[in-house]
Chain A
């Protein structure tokens, strides 16, 4: 299995809702990443997990809460989002933390906040 699987593919949520994004990989990768991508923009790093521990938080607002329950699974919990948070949320993984290992990206979750 050489894929990163993200669910759901699409999500519409109200500003008072709580939802979660899920990311799964079975490549034995020990680093996992959350990126946010707005239309026609590059991906922006949000969080990095290495060996299931939070390694990097790019000053992301607390309404985004990451969780890494095990080495194969990464969640992003969403609460009280704003319309400007609407974007494509990408999960990626790599063998170890570091771009040199090459990131494998999922196809993303298209999030719309209404």
Chain B
């Protein structure tokens, strides 16, 4: 019940296309859902995050869509660029408990030019 399931494992998108990564969770106590981006040789960096009281959050080309009833959330990268090529991790946590993040297994995105 503590898992966050992420798909696909890898994704290849043409430059200018839309990249979509999906995550699902079981624990309804989760109340914070961030996405982290990791480039090779670097630590993960917070990209965007959402709370379950909001169905969508947009920051630039990055959008999180959240479906509370389905217990799913997704990351959409619009106008994907080669510089977006990285590994993306969805995650979840229980804010009130101050718990650490539960990460999904990650998606390796390659944007071809």
Residues of A at the B interface (CB closer than 8 Å) are 4, 33, 40-43, 45, 48, 50, 55-56, 90, 92, 96-100, 102-108
B101 cross-chain contacts in A, Cβ below 8 A: 45, 99, 103
A108 cross-chain contacts in B, Cβ below 8 A: 42-43
Inter-subunit contact A107/B43 (CB<8 Å)? yes
Specify which of A41, A48, A105 is in contact with B43 (CB 8 Å cutoff): A105
Inter-subunit contact B89/A92 (CB<8 Å)? no
Inter-subunit contact A99/B89 (CB<8 Å)? no
Inter-subunit contact B89/A42 (CB<8 Å)? yes
* B100 CB-CB contact with A under 8 Å: yes
Distance in angstroms between the alpha carbons of A50 and B97 in the assembled complex:
13
Inter-subunit contact A105/B44 (CB<8 Å)? yes
